[in-house]
């Protein structure tokens, strides 16, 4: 019996599930979740081994596809996303790759949002294309662009909401309707919100992707990922893991398992600080525009308020001027880490046009709103007044 079926767990609220679900105690009776660092498992007899291998006895066989610590993480994350099943993977990219390899074949067509993580774009544009999967990239908004891109062989719609770095918000219900009417699966990368703020399956998404590397870890230590959805689909994804090996390490699963316990507390703190910083930035004379769905002036505000319980930790803004001015503000910071990573207790700052979005053509960048004066911040858990002071130094120097 899976822990998800436990009647007591089913009565618990989200935050209690974050702390209490997915626990399988060993005979030692440990209180905190145990870390099972073992590659394989022993059997009682030859007959027992045969039953395990045949799948008649549901225990562990080999940690490429069965490990108690990884399973605890999977069960806890599944409870938090409201998913039937979860498959943990070696990284966020491994989660996307495993889903594609398990659910697509040569000749299939994918529609992917233009506004996705850069490496996701490469995975589809280069590697999936190499294996005969056709891919069309469309802007995240409006929905009509997706409807028009649908073909007879469309099998997957792939998106992130809110988008990076402009925080555009897609209507998951409308996207799910398009997927259903075209016989395709809707896949949502929920990395920016995490299940603490948004549960895409409840709005009709078929599959949720996570880079656990970001907010689920929350302290920038481990790389990992996860795929969530219906049991039959996840069975296929697990089959790919068993045969091809992009498995999450037990150690990383243990770190992520503990990360889930504080996820909601952290996401609310990230969101509250991002809101304060976005509001402050709006009032700064050398700031031209601020992009954060928490602001009532943001076009995605109402939809984000419906789909999400808070607006997340990532925001971006345009400074008055061009690349030189943006770099000046970035180089004047002393506290924020200059890195493209996000989802960390430490605030990060980056210039998208010359880093995360440098591989796409200048025309496409302009089309996507990634101008040379744009700066992205992933707000961490420091005191907001210190973050303001850190930005103020560069902003004042632009006068």
List C-alpha distances in Å: 226 to 6, 123, 203, 243: 23, 17, 19, 17
Contacts to ligand PLP from residues 143-172, by CB under 6 A: 160
Query: Count of alpha carbons within 13 Å of 163, Cβ hemisphere only?
Result: 25
Length of the chain, in residues: 399
Contacts to ligand PLP from residues 201-240, by CB under 6 A: 211, 213-214, 223, 225
The site that binds ligand PLP (CB under 6 A) totals a number of residues, namely 13
Cβ 80 to ligand PLP shortest distance, Å: 18
| Pairwise CA distance, residues 252 & 21, whole Å | 18
- Closer by beta carbon to ligand PLP, 9 or else 375: 375
List C-alpha distances in Å: 222 to 113, 254, 345: 27, 10, 14
- Closer by beta carbon to ligand PLP, 122 or else 297: 122
Q: Is residue 271 near ligand PLP by the rule CB under 6 A? A: no
Cβ 340 to ligand PLP shortest distance, Å: 9
One character per residue 184-203, x = contact with ligand PLP (rule: CB under 6 A) = -----x-x------------
Among 21, 63, 91, 163, binds ligand PLP (CB under 6 A): 91
- Closer by beta carbon to ligand PLP, 68 or else 92: 92
| Choices 75-83, 85-93, 197-205, 304-312; region in contact with ligand PLP by CB under 6 A | 85-93
Cβ 52 to ligand PLP shortest distance, Å: 31
Contacts to ligand PLP from residues 113-142, by CB under 6 A: 117, 120
Query: Count of alpha carbons within 13 Å of 50, Cβ hemisphere only?
Result: 3
The order of strands in the sheet holding 314-319 is 287-291, 314-319, 374-378, 348-350, 337-338
| 14 in Cβ contact with 199 (< 8 Å) | no
- Closer by beta carbon to ligand PLP, 214 or else 365: 214
Strand pairing class (314-319; 185-189): unpaired
Through-space distance between the first and last CA atoms of the chain, rounded to whole angstroms: 65
| 347 in Cβ contact with 382 (< 8 Å) | yes
Q: Is residue 357 near ligand PLP by the rule CB under 6 A? A: no
Binding site for ligand PLP (CB under 6 A): 91-93, 117, 120, 160, 189, 191, 211, 213-214, 223, 225
């Amino acid at each position: 019996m899976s822990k998800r079926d436990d009647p007591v767990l089913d009565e618990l609220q989200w935050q209690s599930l974050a702390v209490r679900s997915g626990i399988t105690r060993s005979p030692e009776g440990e209180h905190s979740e145990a870390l099972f660092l073992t590659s394989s498992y022993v059997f009682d007899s030859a007959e027992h081994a045969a039953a395990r291998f045949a799948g008649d006895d549901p225990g562990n066989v080999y940690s490429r596809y069965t490990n108690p610590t990884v399973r605890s993480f999977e069960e806890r994350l599944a409870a938090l996303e409201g998913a039937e099943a979860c498959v943990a993977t070696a990284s966020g990219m491994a989660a996307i790759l495993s889903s594609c390899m398990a659910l697509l074949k040569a000749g299939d067509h994918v529609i992917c949002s233009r506004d996705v993580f850069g490496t996701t774009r490469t995975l589809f544009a280069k590697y999936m294309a190499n294996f005969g999967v056709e891919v069309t990239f469309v802007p995240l908004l409006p929905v009509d662009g997706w409807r028009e891109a649908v073909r007879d062989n469309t099998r997957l719609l792939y998106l992130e909401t809110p988008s990076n770095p402009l925080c555009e918000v897609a209507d998951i219900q409308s996207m799910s309707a398009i997927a259903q009417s075209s016989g395709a699966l809707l896949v949502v990368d929920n990395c920016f919100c995490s299940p603490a703020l948004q549960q895409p399956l409840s709005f009709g998404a078929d599959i949720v992707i996570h880079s656990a590397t970001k907010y689920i870890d929350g302290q920038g230590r481990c790389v990992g990922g996860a795929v969530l959805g219906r049991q039959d689909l996840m069975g296929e994804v697990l089959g790919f893991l068993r045969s091809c090996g992009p498995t999450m390490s037990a150690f990383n699963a243990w770190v992520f398992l503990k990360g889930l316990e504080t996820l909601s507390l952290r996401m609310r703190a990230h969101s509250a600080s991002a809101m304060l910083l976005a509001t402050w930035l709006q009032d700064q004379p050398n700031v031209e525009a601020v992009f954060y769905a928490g602001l009532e002036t943001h076009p995605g505000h109402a939809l984000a308020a419906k789909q999400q319980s808070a607006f997340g930790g990532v925001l971006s803004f345009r400074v008055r001027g061009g690349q030189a001015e943006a770099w000046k503000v970035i180089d004047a910071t002393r506290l924020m880490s200059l890195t493209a990573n996000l989802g960390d207790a430490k605030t990060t700052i980056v210039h998208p046009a010359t880093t995360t979005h440098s591989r796409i053509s200048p025309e496409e960048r302009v089309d996507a709103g990634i101008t040379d004066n744009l700066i992205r911040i992933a707000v961490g858990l420091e005191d907001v007044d210190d973050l303001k002071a850190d930005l103020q130094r560069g902003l004042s120097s632009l006068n």
